Every structure is written in structure tokens, then in C-alpha cells.
Structure 1
Amino acid sequence: MLNLAGMPAYVARPGGPGPHPGVVVGHLIFGVDESTRRCADRLAAAGFLAIVPDLYHRTAPGADLPRDDEGRRRGLELMRTLTRDGVVEDVGRCVEWLRGPGRAGPRVGMLGVSLGGHVAFVAAARLGLAATAALFPGWLTGTEIPLSTPEPTVALAPGIRGRVLFLVGDRDHVVPAADVARVGEALSGAGVAHEVVVYPDAEHGFFPDGPGPAAEDAWRRVTDLFATAL
């Protein structure tokens, strides 16, 4: 783990000398767990320098929660400790590190999954990311959690300058079809270059480890986005 001014971050490096395209990875509610580390490792195997900030470092550093009812309960509790300014600061540290000599250069992207997707949407609007892949991010259209206040996060769309890839399943219980439509409308209205993909019969959490065509197609789209934009 790398330490960035007191914030732990998992780093996955491609083989060979750099620089390599840089990608920040936003974790799910379970923290920087094995699944998230595998996601970063897979990005590195595809040629990207990936860094995963521990978004819970202020309240529960090193959190690696089990994917069971208790893990979800604790994860939702920790999620509510996150603020917009806090996650922008954390992602910003990673962006600054990626832009360091011999690492990634000025153009940086972010892949965020679920909670991390919400964080990625905020970061895209505040940090000038070149490309953002947000996978089934919840709570973008309301004000139920601190990350989505004072105005719904979707209202930040006009601040996005890079490309956005928004992926979700049509059976997602966290991101209903009405929310998907509202996000698409906000991105279109703000003139953001974007693509919204809804996978038939896919539920929340189909990526990064889910079996089946949705996960594999999502991986292809994500790596294509970063390969093109970064």
C-alpha cells in the first residue's frame, strides 16, 4: 500500500517502464477489498497504472468488509461518513500522484463501482478527469446521503469536461430506470460526451467479478474508453 499524506492507497502497476495511462479506482461500500484489488490488477494487466484510495481512511482505515449482511450494514454506515469535499480531496491526491514524473502524464481517468461510481461522478465534475466510467452508482438523483448534498449529485453534470461511460443493469434495485434516464438527460443537457448502457437481466454488483456477458462487455467498454481517452 502507498501512503499519500496519511491516506493509504493500493497501487497496481503494469509491467515495463512508464509512463502508463493512469486510472483512479473507486471502491464499493466494502472498502479496498480483494475484489477491488483484483479490479485494479486487471487494469494494470491491460496497461494502466491503477490506484485505489481508501475512502474510509478518516474513520475506518484499512476497512475490508465481508460481503454479507453485517458487511453491508457497516459499509452503508461508513458511506454516510463521506463528504463531497473529502472524496474530492482523496481522489485529487491520487490524480496528483498519477501526474507525477514517469507515471501517467496529465490525462487521468477514473473507474468507480457502486459507491465508487458516485465518487467518480463527483470527481469528474470537480477535478477535470479526461474519462470516467461510472458503474451502477446509486443516490445520484436524490439527497439521501452526504455525498449527494446540498444538491443532487446529478446536478454537477455541467462541470464535467471529459467523457463519461455509465453502465447499469436493468434489474438494479439501487439504480432504477427513472434514475438512469435522469442521469442521461443531465449529461445530454450539459453537452457531456457520454454513453449510457443498460444490460438486460443484470443486477446490482454484476461488475467487476460477476460471471456472464454483462461483466465481460463492461470490461471491454471500460478499457476501450481509457485506451482512447487517456
Structure 2
Amino acid sequence: MLTIPKGYLKFSGFLLLLGGLMGFTGQLIHLEDMPASVKDIPEFLKGAVNIHVLLAYASMFILMGLPAVYLRQASGLKWWGWVSFPLLFIGLMLEIFHGPVQIMAYPIIFDFVHTAADLKHVGDLFNNMAIDQYPLQLAVFIPLIPGIFLGLILLGIATLRAKVLPKAPAIFIFIVMVIQIVGMVVPVHIHLLEISFAYIHLIFVWIGALMAFGKINAPAQKVNTDSVIVKS
């Protein structure tokens, strides 16, 4: 048996709630990857740096709170339910990786951009990267989306099967995944679909709120007011 302090579960819930809200906000106000013109660079840099600091901390808080979601459901998780944790960890960690480019590299790079030609050259470099010279770049970019998507799908199924958390947030995971897929295949520019990646963070907001404030039905046995026992 595994004893989990209730304080840890609540603290993790607050981390998920805070990280989810920060991530949702950051994705909503996320700028384009490049400024529209040279005169827009100062304002672009201010926004890019601030937003990606916000997103980096959002992912860190979510990663810190995520283990508690699995520990709380441990008695009802199959092995494939646990697999969703490393998948989500990889996806969220790699999502953080692109932040330092905007936070630290952008101010240096754009300090050398003075003309429209310079801006186009920098844009081409960012868009094309240099995969032919540095193929290991793909090791960062390729697993990102599959890790998050597959991890969330497995977490949704595992949560429904475990019957510890309420069904609603698990069902919401599948709704968000459908929205993601529709947003990728629909060619029409629809704002609610274009910001669909932000909805992923609402999943963590919901689960975090449940763990921080709600009562969770579970096969776990209470031993005192400060901890719970999860059967292994």
C-alpha cells in the first residue's frame, strides 16, 4: 500500500490549476513567430519574451503537479495508463525547449535586423531551420505533438477506467483532441480553431481544481484526515 499525504495532492492540484491558467493565457495572447515589419521589432520582442517566460513556467508547474494525478489513481491504473505520464512529460518538456529561443536568442538576433531584407533572411532561417546540417533538431520537434496527444488520450481512457476522478474532465480530454484534429485539417481560418492548443491547458485547470478543492471518489481508503492509502 502507498500512503499519499493529502497536502501533497492539494498542492499538486494548485500547481496544475496555476500552470493551466498561465498556459491558457499565454497561448491566447501568443504572437506570430516573426514581426510584420522592422518597426514592429521592439514591441514584438517585448511580447515574445514575456509570453514565453509565462509559458515556460506554465509547463514547469504542470510537470510538477502531474505525478499526483497518477498517484491518486494508482489503484485503478493499468500499465498503459502509466505510459501516458512519460509521453506527456516528453511532450511538455520539449514544448519548453523552444522558449529559450524567444526569451534569450530573439533579442540578440533581432539586434542585427535593420532592413526588410534582414528580416526576410531571419524569417527564412527560422522557417527552414537547418535539418540537413543538424538532423538531430528533429529529435526535439517530432515527438512534441505526438507525446502530448497520445499522452492525453491514454490519460483520458485510463481516468475513465480507474473511476477515481470524475468522468467529465476525462471526456473533456477527448473533446479537446477532436478540436485539435479538426483545427489541423480544416483549411478555413476560424479563430476558435486557431487557438485550439490553448484548450489543452484547460484540461489541467479542471483536473487541478478537482484535486485542490473537490472531493474525489476513489477506491482508496482514508487513514486519517491528512493522508490516503492507495492499494497497490
Between 1 and 2, higher relative CO (CA 8 Å, sep ≥ 6) is seen in 2
Same fold (TM over 0.5): no
Q: Which is strand-richer, 1 or 2?
A: 1
With normalisation by structure 2, the TM-score equals 0.27
With normalisation by structure 1, the TM-score equals 0.28
